[in-house]
Amino acid sequence: MEKELFKREYLKFMANKDVTKISVHIAMPDLFYLEVITNPRPNFEKKLEYYSRAYNEYMQLNTFNSIYIDNISAWDRNSEIWVNMDKN
């Protein structure tokens, strides 16, 4: 996933007042399944700053590029279902 796409989707979720939580799906070399980290709305801005600083242009962790962000999703306030972004 490219950083530009990640930021665009993250900002889209932030702008949507119905989104209560944003989840980031992280691939790690020793894990079979993606790790999912979920943050509530009050954390959105600080977490975006962290992801922008800690991950490179391909959303690989700067300190260990085998760890990378694979996807991003959000919780919708109205239905409490996952809203997954289109990775294309």
Task: Tell me the C-alpha distance between 85 and 83, whole Å.
Answer: 7
C-alpha torsion 41→45→49→54, nearest 10? 0
Residues contacting residue 50 through CB under 8 Å, at least 6 positions apart: none
pLDDT the model gives residue 5? 95
Q: pLDDT, tens digit, for every residue of 8-20?
A: 999 999 999 999 9
pTM as predicted:
0.86
pLDDT the model gives residue 43? 98
- Identify the residue whose tokens are 């972004």: 85
Q: What is the pLDDT along the chain (88 residues), one digit of tens a residue?
A: 999 999 999 999 999 999 999 999 999 999 999 999 999 999 999 999 999 999 999 999 999 999 999 999 998 877 665 556 555 4
pLDDT the model gives residue 82? 59
